[in-house]
Chains A and B, each alone.
Chain A
């Protein structure tokens, strides 16, 4: 196969150095971002597993007006304010209504009322503070949101420099791009094996990684792009927002008169017939029960990149107000750009195929990052470096591997902690988060005592697999929703359980296949010592 023209000597070496430095500084942070992000793709799908209160049966047809009337009778809603409805979904089958209560005193604003209802019976579910955190913790960890203020900016810069590492990495690999496209080589020197893994998986994941590097940088660093926009004073942020989401600038009369209009269900049916194959996720009802009532339907179809919609309807006759609406597949440039970026980053297109594909590609990216760390170390484990330098290389590698590989058992522990901590405990989310982060820290420290990378890998794999197998068992014991019972009525609880079960079995099988090297990876201070250590290990293994 024809080789492409490579870079010149100087450019090659400089690009190599850029790739090495950005890579070794960012690799563990990127691993955390991609690993947590892969799980965060299934944020909503994990909700029913983590919160037993959400395990109610899902129905699509029920009377929304009765539900609103029920909330009104309980809390007396102020209908001059908006009423927000979050409709039940298969994986989160609870109806949520948010509104403002009428204030008894004119000068004080009414309290915000939040009600959750089981759609089948319209029974009001017990109002609890937000006490579950598995999905939230994984989502927050994905952009270091646990670090106040700076977290998302750090994640944004990590993303940006990941983009730099991608470009420089592709450039240095350029000459072998075609000839080494399928170089899944398993034989030979470790340096060659790690390099081939790194380049082959790097190229397979290239479009996916570029997409996430850029959309991630946008999410984290949008403020930096916005700086000159605000300081120039030539752009009106409200105008920009109106172009993006025109429904935010709807102005209705201050003192509306009461009047009749179509019911919420009739309008919902109209949306369903006008936009087949889309699903209404949530709605805002303005001036319910008044003459100028309006409904804003937020729709998604999970298929196309441009499938999100905001459909504004006058409730009197059910006509769509095009001026304020964002119609799926018929949007302005600005709305499309914003929509594409969200759909791409959150995997909200192409159905679950894309989410599963993105999950697998994230794991491939994690593997590529680990192989990158190991290239860095293997390329420096020679006589050109003195003992002190080599010890440093070893310690960095050991530390990075410990942080990265211990995420697998730590995530399984997060799921277990969610079930073991009692649901009615005060500050429950704090307790679950503490268990997760402390156990991750302890697991990392444990890894620092292992001076052998293959042993480190094997031990984390065994630990993680055993904990994974415990996840469905503990869910079964605590909630009595064993995975053989949930397959029909609670599919998302079933999928989460089966995911951990399969992960545990595959992990245990893989851990048996790991060949643990006899000798330590810690460098010894002279060549003779190294020889002595090898001779010793051979004699102990043979005896």
Chain B
């Protein structure tokens, strides 16, 4: 408490004193951490890329969808990574990402 007051009002957060290194009670560890990281990087990649390629397969002007995807997929990848860390339960993030990826993969490869 005292430390927080010393460091100034900048560290008051939502009327709670938050010291600078993040409070570890909110962070996952071990296998859960790895799972979350995989969801963010691998799951995020699959969902963000396939969504644009699937759109291109369905579209009458595939090249436009693909070139939108060049920008869009990387923006979406970043957003998905934040989403995975925002949502408390990793299985919820995995289900959202897989619900996007699986239909898109079916559209692309079938």
Residues in chain A within 8 A of chain B (CB atoms): 6, 8-18, 20, 160, 163-164, 167-168, 171, 175-176, 180, 188-189, 191-192, 195-196, 213-214, 217-218, 221-222, 224-225, 227-229, 231-232, 234-235, 239-240, 243-244, 333-334, 337-338, 341, 375, 379-380, 382
Other than the known A18-B85, A176-B10, A227-B49, what 15 A-B pairs have Cβ atoms closer than 8 Å?
A6-B13, A10-B88, A13-B27, A14-B26, A17-B22, A18-B82, A163-B78, A167-B78, A168-B85, A189-B7, A229-B56, A333-B64, A337-B70, A337-B71, A341-B71
User: Which residue in B18, B49, B86 is a CB contact (below 8 Å) of A225?
Assistant: B49
A213's closest neighbor in chain B, by CB? B78
Q: Which label, helix, strand, loop or mixed, suits the secondary structure of the A interface?
A: helix
- Assess the A217–B74 pair: CB atoms within 8 A: yes
- Min CB–CB distance A258 → chain B (angstroms): 39
Q: How far is the CA of A240 from the CA of B23 in the complex (A)?
A: 50
- Assess the B66–A12 pair: CB atoms within 8 A: no
Q: How far is the CA of A189 from the CA of B4 in the complex (A)?
A: 12
Residues of chain B from 30 to 89 with CB closer than 8 A to chain A in the complex: 45, 49-50, 52-53, 56-57, 62-64, 66-71, 73-75, 77-79, 81-82, 85-86, 88
Q: Please tell me the size bucket of the interface on B.
A: 35 or more
- Assess the A243–B70 pair: CB atoms within 8 A: no
- Assess the A14–B64 pair: CB atoms within 8 A: no
B1 within 8 A of A: no
Chain A residues, Cβ within 8 Å of B57: 232, 234
A241's closest neighbor in chain B, by CB? B63
Q: How far is the CA of A16 from the CA of B26 in the complex (A)?
A: 11
Q: How far is the CA of A375 from the CA of B22 in the complex (A)?
A: 13
Q: How far is the CA of A18 from the CA of B81 in the complex (A)?
A: 10
A-B contact pairs, 23 of them (CB 8 A): A8-B14, A9-B26, A10-B88, A12-B13, A13-B22, A16-B22, A20-B22, A160-B74, A163-B75, A164-B81, A175-B13, A175-B14, A180-B10, A189-B7, A189-B8, A191-B20, A214-B74, A227-B49, A232-B53, A240-B66, A244-B63, A334-B63, A341-B70
- Assess the B67–A160 pair: CB atoms within 8 A: no
Residues in chain B within 8 A of chain A (CB atoms): 3, 6-8, 10, 13-14, 16, 18-23, 26-27, 45, 49-50, 52-53, 56-57, 62-64, 66-71, 73-75, 77-79, 81-82, 85-86, 88, 108-109
A180's closest neighbor in chain B, by CB? B10
- Assess the A225–B69 pair: CB atoms within 8 A: yes
B20's closest neighbor in chain A, by CB? A379
- Assess the B8–A14 pair: CB atoms within 8 A: no
User: Which residue in B8, B22, B26, B64 is a CB contact (below 8 Å) of A192?
Assistant: B8
- Min CB–CB distance A160 → chain B (angstroms): 7
- Assess the A168–B82 pair: CB atoms within 8 A: yes
Chain B residues, Cβ within 8 Å of A382: 3
- Given contacts A14-B85, A163-B74, A191-B20, A228 and B108 within 8 Å (CB-CB): yes
- Given contacts A222-B70, A337-B70, A379-B20, A17 and B27 within 8 Å (CB-CB): yes
- Assess the A9–B21 pair: CB atoms within 8 A: no
- Assess the A171–B71 pair: CB atoms within 8 A: no
- Assess the B67–A14 pair: CB atoms within 8 A: no
Q: How far is the CA of A408 from the CA of B17 in the complex (A)?
A: 39
Chain A residues, Cβ within 8 Å of B7: 189, 191-192
User: Which residue in B18, B63, B71 is a CB contact (below 8 Å) of A12?
Assistant: B18
Q: How far is the CA of A318 from the CA of B18 in the complex (A)?
A: 71
User: Which residue in A13, A244, A334, A380 is a CB contact (below 8 Å) of B18?
Assistant: A13
- Min CB–CB distance B29 → chain A (angstroms): 11
B69's closest neighbor in chain A, by CB? A225
B68's closest neighbor in chain A, by CB? A337
- Given contacts A225-B49, A232-B57, A235-B66, A14 and B86 within 8 Å (CB-CB): yes
- Assess the B66–A229 pair: CB atoms within 8 A: yes
- Assess the B53–A228 pair: CB atoms within 8 A: yes
* Most A Cβ at <10 Å: residue of B13, B18, B88: B13
Chain A residues, Cβ within 8 Å of B66: 229, 235, 240
- Min CB–CB distance A540 → chain B (angstroms): 28
Chain B residues, Cβ within 8 Å of A213: 78
A16's closest neighbor in chain B, by CB? B22
- Assess the A375–B78 pair: CB atoms within 8 A: no
A242's closest neighbor in chain B, by CB? B63
Q: How far is the CA of A408 from the CA of B70 in the complex (A)?
A: 34
Q: How far is the CA of A191 from the CA of B10 in the complex (A)?
A: 11
A338's closest neighbor in chain B, by CB? B67
Chain A residues, Cβ within 8 Å of B21: 20, 379-380
- Min CB–CB distance A425 → chain B (angstroms): 43
9 A-B pairs with the lowest CB-CB distances in the bound complex, closest first = A379-B20, A17-B22, A13-B26, A16-B22, A163-B78, A13-B22, A337-B67, A217-B74, A232-B108
* Most B Cβ at <10 Å: residue of A15, A17, A382: A17
- Assess the A15–B8 pair: CB atoms within 8 A: no
